[in-house]
Every structure is written in C-alpha cells, then in structure tokens.
Amino acid sequence: MLTAILIMALGAIVLGSALGYASIKFKVEGNPLVEKIEAILPQTQCGQCGYPGCKPYAEAIAEGEADINKCPPGGMEGVRKLADLLGREVKPLDAEEKPKQLAIIDEQLCIGCTLCIQACPVDAIVGAAKQMHTVVESLCTGCELCVKPCPVECIRMEPIAEKIDNWKWKYPVFEIKPATRAA
C-alpha cells in the first residue's frame, strides 16, 4: 500500500517537474492563434471591422469577443477560412462585398496638404508639402482611409481592372465551354 502511494507520488513529482520545465523551456511568445488569424486577414488595415487594424481584430477574434464576419476586404473567402481555422460556423459577411479597389488622386486638384500621406497606413502615397501627391499603385491596399481626410476631395476609389496578368480561369460550372477534342 505504502509503496504504491510512494510510487504514485514519485511519478507525480517527476511528471510535474517535467511539465513545469517544458512550460518554461518551450514558452511560446505571443499568441499563436492570433498570428494564424492575422495571416488570414488581408492586412489592409482599414478599420472597417471596427478595430484599429488587422491585428487588434485578430486579437479580438482569438479572445472570442468579435465575430468572424466583420472584415469586408477579406470577403466571404476570408470568413470561410476563419471558420475553417476556428471551427466556427460560416456566416454571411456583415457588410457588402466590394471588388478590390485602388485609390487614385486627381493630380490636377491635389493641393499638397499631405493629409492623405498621414492617413495611409502602408505609406502608399508619395508627395511632399505643397507638391502634388500620387498613389503608388502596387502598394495601395484599397483601404479608403485616405479618401476622407482629403480637404478638396480629390481622391477616389476605383475597382482594379481585370488585366491579362490578373485574369483568372472561371469556375467551369459558371462558364460552360465545350471541351474541344478531336472527333
């Protein structure tokens, strides 16, 4: 009887110390779940989810405070991926899904106030005080944050046009093209 208790106690001590050691040795910095969620979010940093950026939203999802259908730039595709990752129900997007956009500054009207530069979260606008400003197309994420601050309303959003470089084959069910084959 006593030996049995001793053995159990010894086992508990050994395992407990091993676990304790492991928790110190293999400590994970940050929350891995937040990182995984953030990897799915589009990093537009637009705040349309009601959080000040993608990371805060990711944290809120991980905490269980926020729903997964709040990110319009991510679209339904994003909701689906989040649902997959978190094992939650897929829900319809809590906003209108928009095509990807690009900010365009009307260079005739720009007065060079630099307000849009300050608003852009990804430094996609170049210009200097009292000089014309312009958007670097390849860097713009289409977050719309620069539209409001402009005092002369010279920034507009335009959907990204389909070009040969970004053209995609359609899902066959929507566009039934007869398969061509030799008779």
Query: Which entry of other proteins, ligand SF4, none binds 178, CB below 5 to 8 A by partner kind?
Result: other proteins
Q: Which two tokens stand for residue 3?
A: 């030996």
Pick one of 37, 49, 54, 66: the residue that binds other proteins (CB under 8 A): 54
Among 181, 112, 175, 98, CA closest to 143: 98
Strand runs labelled E in the chain: 101-105, 125-126, 134-135, 155-159
Among 151, 173, 138, 146, CA closest to 45: 146
Q: Does 57 bind ligand SF4 (CB under 6 A)?
A: yes
Pick one of 34, 37, 40, 42: the residue that binds ligand SF4 (CB under 6 A): 42
The number of residues making up the chain comes to 183
Going 115 to 120 to 130 to 111, the CA torsion angle's sign is negative
Pick one of 36, 47, 53, 104: the residue that binds other proteins (CB under 8 A): 53
Q: Where in 88-117 is the site for ligand SF4 (CB under 6 A)? A: 103
129 to each of 33, 39, 64, 110, 138, how far by Cα in Å?
A: 42, 35, 44, 11, 23
Q: Does 26 bind other proteins (CB under 8 A)?
A: no
Q: Does 170 bind other proteins (CB under 8 A)?
A: yes
Cβ-based nearer residue to other proteins, 54 or 150? 54
Q: Which residues bind other proteins (CB under 8 A)?
A: 38, 41-45, 53-54, 107-108, 121-124, 130, 139, 141, 162-164, 166-172, 176-183
Give contact residues for ligand SF4 (rule: CB under 6 A).
41-42, 44-49, 51, 53-54, 57, 71-74, 103, 119-120, 122, 124-125, 135, 140-146
